[in-house]
Structure 1
């Protein structure tokens, strides 16, 4: 790569990888820590703040739209009481998912899977839509960049040759020109034969455009969590409180030494992204609400939003998220909430496949572990 283009690629990578859990480890570093040094199980507070989920009894008269399932809605306890997240019990990482608070949501339909390549292709073929990753970055976005350095592309997870300090995520993420949803691993790759895989390299506006075309919308964060919990109360994972019940993985996450080349052992059945519907659905019939790819929600990201809701002393009714974004660790980036974790989440680095935890992403950012699913109101 030419030296004059390296700068813009680095800047684009930093901007785009402010997604999901980007700056966490830069803010709370531990010296010389590599993935093989530790593997943690979730630690929760001794006294649970979760109260029973109360599902609505009313059901719609009509059959669910194709590919969607009915989510009854109701009142539940939202958030997480996990005190730390991987990386040798690093305290405070999940504080944006606290405190646990009571929320009510109306019933709705939800896509049973993440939107697939096949489904997104139908949208693009019908509308001619061009995703953010396919668009050339503008001088308005990067005013100091040379014109020749503004090249369309996206960010790809790139394993390291050997164990590395986990404090610098730029070691395993790279901005690759001509990478997009049709070329998820670079310009020479394709989605041929991967029609049933989740579509990736999707920015917020790309997901929103699809949802509008499909007569749907993106879920609120509260709707997403209510659905992912499947009517259960306060469990750590969408399937229960044990990561591997009977020794079997229930989601597509990362096993092995992160982020080393060939480090993912694929013990869960997959090295990298998986087709949809490879694991048992949750109690509502939803697949892959943990792992595989992160999912956009409609809410602005605010680090203290849960605190604000809890302080009201009332049950939050159909919360739509805060009025503005607020991420003190990265205040220049406009972010919305991600949920669910991805195939790169590991007990060594990012355990955001825990159902009550949160991710975040700059709205025009995309990567090969980021997709979405939709909901539909009745």
Structure 2
């Protein structure tokens, strides 16, 4: 399906879009920097039953139902650029976003329209219709996990940020290399809730902390026009910059959407070519998305890299 999105976005004047590189400002001391979070740490989640979903927000989160899960281990943090680079170095893996479309399969396309690439966040200046996401997403040739905002960007200094521009295939390949798997939706939400029952957020029911301090890396201000960066970040944050949940897991809300194994199903039924991602991202603004919550779900095209989508791994007994 990446091929169709690439064709769809070909009409955009990509050269007029802003390059999707994000500078970061230190919001607070992060666990990864103080040594209190070890890269690659896995956390055991106990077996049990819990209430999954929410009736308070979007249709795709309904109905609330009781789910059960066996014990498993999950990454304490999202997979980082450094971890993914180690995987690529050892396996010579080439991600979906780095592979051009086949000339044999698409002989009518111009070579430039078959070029490898991915979707970047590049908002135009005249966004008034929040139902038209082509106003802030653009297909950029040369965008991939090494160059998440396009060919003029890189991940230098972002080694401990979550890897992005990875597809389901890429995430699963990494997980298998690591002797692991991707979480199911049930596993992910069980872990995200951290032992709190039926709360709106992974930390409770209040949207923010004392003095309206953000408790996760999400969009502050008016999406997609103005980000006040109250959390200190325009894009991704290093892993572990916000308090862990009750199970000791970081960034289960915000930072990047996290891929799961499950096909995306909502009130309309199964959506072809889509996997489910959970947890929200740095682009979740309350005026548009507000999905940095444990029950929140979104469809992610199975073969398209995006600048706000990453993953974490699980190990099953």
1:159 to 120, 123, 132: 123
CA shift, 1:8, in A, is 7.7
Q: Say if 1:137 and 1:244 are closer, same or farther in 2 by CA, change over 3 A.
A: same
Q: In the alignment, is residue 107 of structure 1 matched against residue 81 of structure 2?
A: no
Equivalent in the alignment of 1:254:
219
SS in 2 for 1:301: strand
1:230–1:282: 8 Å Cα contact kept in structure 2?
Answer: yes
Measure, in 1, the Cα distance between the counterparts of 2:286 and 2:147.
29
Equivalent in the alignment of 2:16:
none
2:60 to 75, 92, 96: 96
CA shift, 1:96, in A, is 1.6
1:237–1:354: 8 Å Cα contact kept in structure 2?
Answer: yes
Measure, in 1, the Cα distance between the counterparts of 2:141 and 2:230.
32
SS in 2 for 1:338: strand
Measure, in 1, the Cα distance between the counterparts of 2:7 and 2:263.
26
Measure, in 1, the Cα distance between the counterparts of 2:205 and 2:127.
30
CA shift, 1:11, in A, is 1.4
Equivalent in the alignment of 2:260:
297
CA shift, 1:144, in A, is 4.9
Equivalent in the alignment of 2:29:
none
2:171 to 207, 212, 219: 207
Equivalent in the alignment of 1:276:
239
CA shift, 1:139, in A, is 5.2
Cα distance per residue 1:80-109 (max 9 Å; x no partner): 1114xxxxxxxxxx2121111111001111
1:13–1:155: 8 Å Cα contact kept in structure 2?
Answer: no
Measure, in 2, the Cα distance between the counterparts of 1:95 and 1:82.
9
CA shift, 1:190, in A, is 1.1
Measure, in 2, the Cα distance between the counterparts of 1:152 and 1:338.
23
Q: Say if 1:150 and 1:163 are closer, same or farther in 2 by CA, change over 3 A.
A: closer
Q: In the alignment, is residue 341 of structure 1 matched against residue 247 of structure 2?
A: no
Measure, in 2, the Cα distance between the counterparts of 1:232 and 1:242.
13
1:45-60 aligned at under 5 Å gives the runs none
Name the one with the larger strand percent: 2
Q: In the alignment, is residue 170 of structure 1 matched against residue 134 of structure 2?
A: yes
Normalised by the size of structure 2, how large is the TM-score? 0.85
Q: Say if 1:295 and 1:8 are closer, same or farther in 2 by CA, change over 3 A.
A: closer
Q: In the alignment, is residue 287 of structure 1 matched against residue 250 of structure 2?
A: yes
Q: Which runs of 5+ in 1 are unaligned?
A: 1-6, 15-63, 84-93, 306-324, 328-332
CA shift, 1:66, in A, is 5.0
2:47–2:72: 8 Å Cα contact kept in structure 1?
Answer: yes
CA shift, 1:352, in A, is 1.3
SS in 2 for 1:154: strand
Cα distance per residue 1:261-297 (max 9 Å; x no partner): xx11101121221111100000001100111100000
Measure, in 2, the Cα distance between the counterparts of 1:8 and 1:248.
37
CA shift, 1:357, in A, is 1.7
1:160-199 aligned at under 5 Å gives the runs 160-199=124-163
1:2-21 aligned at under 5 Å gives the runs 9-11=6-8
CA shift, 1:145, in A, is 2.7
1:352–1:358: 8 Å Cα contact kept in structure 2?
Answer: yes
Q: Say if 1:170 and 1:141 are closer, same or farther in 2 by CA, change over 3 A.
A: farther
CA shift, 1:344, in A, is 0.2
2:253–2:292: 8 Å Cα contact kept in structure 1?
Answer: yes
Q: Say if 1:350 and 1:8 are closer, same or farther in 2 by CA, change over 3 A.
A: closer
Kindly tell me the number of residue pairs found equivalent between the two proteins: 287
Normalised by the size of structure 1, how large is the TM-score? 0.72
1:155–1:174: 8 Å Cα contact kept in structure 2?
Answer: yes
- Could you say what the CA RMSD is over the residues aligned between the two structures, in angstroms? 2.2
